Structure 1
Amino acid sequence: MSHSTPVSPPQDLASRSVRAIWHPCTQMQRAMAVPPLAIVRGEGAWLFDDTGRRYFDTSSSWWVNLFGHADARINAALKEQLDTLPHVMLAGCTHAPAVELAERLSALTGGVLGHCFFASDGASAVEIALKMSFHHWRNRGRSTKREFVCLRQGYHGETLGALAVTDVAVFRDAYDPLLMRSHQVMSPDARQALPGESAADVALRAAAELQALLEERHEHIAALILEPLVQGATGMAMHDPAYLRAARALCDQYEVTLIADEIAVGCGRTGSFFAFEQAALPGQPPIWPDLVCLSKGISGGYLPLSLVLSRDSIYEAFLDDDVARGFLHSHSYTGNALACRAALAVLDRFEHDGVLQRNRAQAALLTAALAPLHTDARIEHFRQIGMIWAFDVREPFAGFRFAERFHLAGRERELLIRPIGRTVYLMPPYLLDEGLCAWLAGRVLATLDDVLNQRPDDADRLPEPPTA
């Protein structure tokens, strides 16, 4: 008599994922109760799950997707590159996509940031910038400059160097014993305004705290790192460009490298290609940081790519016959040809499609459609810059596990939306029109009503998982 092996019933993709994948930024015990969406297809601003339901990608899939999923022009560029050269190491070799991308990005800074170092993800770019800053001072005979300054509420990634200059407790605290010490100074977050203060006043008050630290420690400080205009992962904290102007002047005065982390805010998100461009006063020449970290949107949401743009003076500090004075950092996929080609297709869109001008029109439409939030007593600090919108639900209304409840309610209304704590934000692909703005605003407002009218069971009062 033969014995057949029992056949287990087939499991859906979400269940298999929970069993096999350790998902990022997720408490996996909670994922068993709230399984991930099983996405099988993307088209434009929409994602489709394995049941055929669609979801509007309100966060551009963690802020990376600029022109929609399966964009025809980026697809075509990648297909051509795939048949030509998918990858070659960038140590001792080079290729056209990497060279052209470095040249075009430098040109966007007027040649001020003349050299480009490639990596794979945002945290890697931050690590590179921190190492470059310290090492360039060391090569110049200033080896005492080995400390870093960051902003409170800032986020720069989750590798150990990046965490050392990050101030988001849920990411940092478990690893604090492993981290180098950094100086934290006041965030210019405009929500901290005292009665009668403007956003610019807050920025200058924060700059005064930075100046006091630099006066005391500048001989030991290598670099200041900041997110220009928007501190993303802490809840879309926005600040006045006056802080960038002050930071640039102070870093010049005290000989400190200024690192702009544009990983989330670059590529047009704040209304200019680089957020730091908005530091310049009207009619005045542009001012630039010393190092710029770029990732996320630069490849259009297609492939992992990051880079650091550097001033010539930093690059030149590494030129020497001594190999040890060179910058020997490396990644296997540095300057991947496919990723660089995707980035070139992204730059083509900016150059030929009037993206920044079109985004201004799109932003005005969605801001107008969200106007009811201005008078909603349940929310505070409605804010917008470029293609980023955010508002905070007041503490008495948010309740327990607000972000998770909002996310799940959003799914029911065709939204893929993940608040950060009690901050609801939108960073959609650059594909809005009047009808879509009205639809999106209506769904967000309806989801807000759904969630704030819920009464979570007391037994469900567990710590909220971090989301972004």
Structure 2
Amino acid sequence: MTLKERDKKHLWHPLTQHKIHPEAIPITKAKGALLYGEDGTTYIDGIASWYTAMFGHCNDFILHKVQQQMQQLDQIVFAGFTHKPAIQLSEALIKMLPDNQEKIFFSDNGSTANEVGIKMALQYHFNKGEKRNTIIAFEDGFHGDTFGAMSASGLSVYNGPFEDFFIDVKRIPTPNSKNIQSVLEQLHTIIKSNEVAAFIYEPLVQGANAMHMFEAEHLNHILRICKEHKILTIADEVMTGFGKTGRDFASDFIEEKPDIISMSKALTAGFVPMAVTSCTQETYDAFLDDSVGKAFFHAHTYSANPIACSAALAAIELLQSDEIQNNIQRIIASHKTFNAQIKAHPKVRSTRQKGVIFALDLHIEMDRYGKKRYKIFNHFMKKGVFLRPLGNTIYILAPYVITPKELKKIYEAIAELLEKV
């Protein structure tokens, strides 16, 4: 019996309607930017497996560091204990993060990183004796699948059955040069009419929202108003963090720095699950009290897992290396060249780029997970390229180690699609 046949017996895959799409593609090996199927087919991983394996699959440098750590300390409770990898990782992250960040809280995935940030913000005001129970978020943003993070997310395709159970969230449009004044007016109205605890946002690029991009200048206006009203700001850098926008964090482009930052995905380079929520000293200080009840009672069994910490430390070391930084600039330049070649194509409605993130919208109407979308997906897979269209949006977010030849093959597969659509 093949892996594909065995898979269908017991497994339930995410974001999948199994009645329509009953089969998953078995992958038996991965190295660099390549995935190897059970049938011998090779695929170029054009999205770094949901933006995690940014340094390539099974990176030898990270693998060596993880193997060393596995022989020293595998897992230890992080409540009451500590260890060197967690301490070193906290020090490395604080050096990278915006200057106002001081404290590091560990969890285990991007959704829980945002859940932690939302709970921190709500309890911050509670501990100060203020009843603030409203969150502000962007329309069509996505912050995860746990209830707080899902409440803040505006994509109904994910949220439909659960909306009656959400916390109170008010939404504003993402800003642009045409609507910025209207957005700021809406923001003022919400603040005036509600007890707002926090504003959560994906800085500059909304990943699940078809890589929608907006300007730092406009976001800065929103953050400034929030700070004037003592509303904590939460930057969801789960997707954008660790070099993807051309800087360590998207928040580096923005003058007003967030009070809280959530991180995951590329944090551990795709090796093991882990997430981090960082915050300012002022945020942390609101939880210091003689009363145990004012402590932050949130925990994950694998918080600060030593193996995950060692993978993250190795990933940060690679990110800061000349080789990876040069690769990032090479990919950025390559995307710009490709964009110049295809942006005027009649089947291309629009294109956009931020750092190594490149996206184009096809000039056709289609459902996010409809039949047309799967035809496009299958086109790429037949060409040996793994891209995951978001409706009519095709995007590239490949590993930093992708070769020029592999990247060219992705471009060629997209160009061929444009002639077929």
Counterpart of 2:362 (choices 372, 375, 393) is: 393
CA 122–211 in structure 1, closer or farther in 2 if over 3 Å, else same: same
The equivalent residue for 1:269 is 244
Q: Quick one: distance in 2 between partners of 1:275 and 1:339? A: 23
C-alpha distance in 2 between matches for 1:200 and 1:364: 26
- Describe the SS at the equivalent of 2:343: helix
1:358 and 1:169 mapped to 2: Cα distance? 37
How is 1:29-428 mapped onto 2 (pairs within 5 angstroms)?
A: 29-32=19-22, 35-109=23-97, 111-142=99-130, 144-188=131-175, 199-203=176-180, 205-217=182-194, 220-280=195-255, 287-353=256-322, 355-395=324-364, 401-428=371-398
The amino acid of 1:16's aligned partner reads R
Q: Is the 8 A contact 1:382 1:391 kept in 2?
A: yes
Partner in structure 2 of residue 440 of structure 1: 410
CA contact (8 A) 1:55 1:415 kept: yes
Q: Could you give the per-residue CA deviations for residues 301-352 of structure 1, whole angstroms, max 9, x where no partner exists?
A: 1110101000000100101121111001001000111111100001101223
SS in 2 for 1:375: coil
> In structure 1, what is the Cα distance between the partners aligned to 2:98 and 2:199?
23
Question: Which amino acid is 1:12 matched to?
Answer: T
Letter in 1 for 2:135: F
Q: For residues 175-233 of structure 1, what are the alpha-carbon distances to aligned partners after superposition, in whole Å with 9 as ceiling and x for unaligned?
A: 11222221011122xxxxxxxxxx4444554344323322433xx10000000001111
Distance 1:59 1:318, change over 3 A: same
Q: Which AA in structure 1 matches 2:266?
A: G
Task: Name the aligned partner's letter for residue 167 of structure 1.
Answer: G
Q: CA 1:86–1:394 in structure 2 vs 1: closer, same or farther (change >3 Å)?
A: same
- Would you say the 8 A contact 1:227–1:260 is kept in 2? yes
| Alpha-carbon separation, structure 2, partners of 1:28 and 1:16 | 15
* Alpha-carbon distance in 2 for matches of 1:398, 1:129: 32
Q: 1:235 to 1:110 in 2, by over 3 A?
A: closer
2: CA distance between counterparts of 1:77 and 1:203? 47
Please tell me whether Structure 1 or Structure 2 has the larger radius of gyration of its CA atoms: 1
* 1:366–1:437 CA contact under 8 A, matched in 2: no
- Contact residue 327 and residue 401 of structure 2 kept, 8 A: no
Cα pair distance change 1:396/1:324, threshold 3 Å: closer
The alignment of Structure 1 onto Structure 2 pairs a total of residues equal to 420
Change (3 A) 1:289 1:396: closer
| Closer/same/farther in 2, CA of residues 13 and 449 from structure 1, 3 Å limit | farther
Tell whether the 8 Å contact from 1:259 to 1:289 is kept in structure 2 after alignment.
yes
Change in CA separation of 1:428 and 1:207 when aligned onto 2, cut-off 3 Å? farther
Is the contact between residue 107 and residue 276 of structure 2 (CA under 8 Å) also seen in structure 1?
yes
Report Cα offsets for 1:78-101 as digits up to 9, x if no partner. Answer: 000010011101000001111111
Q: Give the AA of the match of 2:307.
A: L
Moved more, 366-375 or 409-418: 366-375
In the TM superposition, residue 404 of structure 1 has moved relative to its aligned partner by 0.7
The alpha-carbon distance between structure 1 residues 396 and 184, as it changes in their structure 2 partners (threshold 3 A), is: closer
Shift of 1:267: 0.8
Alignment match, 1:5: none
CA contact (8 A) 2:142 2:152 kept: yes
Q: CA deviation at 1:409?
A: 1.0
> How many Å apart are 1:381 and its aligned residue?
1.7
Summarize the Cα distance change of 1:177–1:430 in structure 2 as closer, same or farther, 3 Å threshold. same
Q: Find the residue that maps to 1:29 and give its secondary structure.
A: coil
- The answer as to whether partners of 1:186 and 1:210 remain within 8 angstroms in 2 is no
**Structure 1 residues not aligned, in runs of 5+:** 1-10, 189-198, 281-286, 453-468
Alpha-carbon distance in structure 2 between the residues aligned to 1:402 and 1:267: 33
Output the CA distance in 1 between the equivalents of 2:24 and 2:254. Answer: 40
Distance (Å, rounded) in 1 between the aligned partners of 2:398 and 2:366: 26
Q: Is the alpha carbon distance of 1:395 and 1:12 closer, same or farther for their aligned partners in structure 2, counting shifts above 3 Å?
A: same
Question: Does the CA contact (< 8 Å) of 1:223 and 1:258 recur in 2?
Answer: yes
Matched-pair contact (CA < 8 Å) for 2:237–2:261: yes
> Which of the pair has the greater relative contact order for Cα pairs under 8 Å at 6+ separation?
2
TM-score under structure 2 length normalisation: 0.96
Instruction: Name the CA distance, whole Å, in 2 between partners of 1:204 and 1:340.
Output: 43
Could you report, residue by residue, the CA deviation over 1:152-194 in whole angstroms, capped at 9, with x for unpaired residues? 0100001111111111111011111222221011122xxxxxx
Please state how far the C-alpha of 1:355 moved relative to its aligned partner: 3.2
One-letter amino acid of the structure 1 residue matched with residue 397 of structure 2:
M
| 8 Å contact from structure 1 (residues 148, 222) kept in 2 | yes
In structure 2, the CA distance between the partners of 1:208 and 1:15, relative to structure 1 (3 Å rule), is farther
Output the CA distance in 1 between the equivalents of 2:365 and 2:155: 23
Retained in 2: the 8 A contact 1:362–1:433?
no
2:210/2:393 contact within 8 Å kept: yes
Whether the 8 Å contact between 1:203 and 1:239 is mirrored in structure 2 is: no
Once the two structures are overlaid, the 10-residue window that deviates more, 59-68 or 400-409, is 400-409
CA contact (8 A) 1:65 1:301 kept: yes
